[in-house]
Amino acid sequence: MLAELRTYTISPGQSDALFGQFRDLSLPLFADHGITAYGPWRRRLTKGEQLVYIVEFDDADDRDRKWAAFKNDPRWIAAQEAVSGGVPFVAGNETIEITR
């Protein structure tokens, strides 16, 4: 089993939008592409906040295949194009790979 602990630093004023997109779009797309997800959680920082979640895969090949399918999904592409003209939801991100 391989998991990723994913942390997104939220752009100022974009918290509700990012959590809404995660709930309404990302989680259903994860399910459609066989990605097991846990979260999201909100991490409050001295300045700003982060969205944190975990995704789980069988192995690295499974992860690569499922992320490729997710990123090429027309629904995901359309959502990214819709926000490209405005303020991005995410100011930075970090992914930590963990295994057991």
Q: What is the pTM of this model?
A: 0.92
Mapping DSSP to helix (H, G, I), strand (E, B) and coil, where does residue 96 land? strand
pLDDT digits (tens, 9 = 90+) for 29-74: 999 999 999 999 999 999 999 999 999 999 999 999 999 999 999 9
With pLDDT > 70 as the criterion, what percentage of the chain qualifies? 96
Q: Which two tokens stand for residue 46?
A: 């001295």
Domains and CATH numbers, the chain: 2-99 (3.30.70.100)
Residue 80 confidence class, pLDDT cut points 50, 70, 90: confident
CA distance 54 to 7: 9
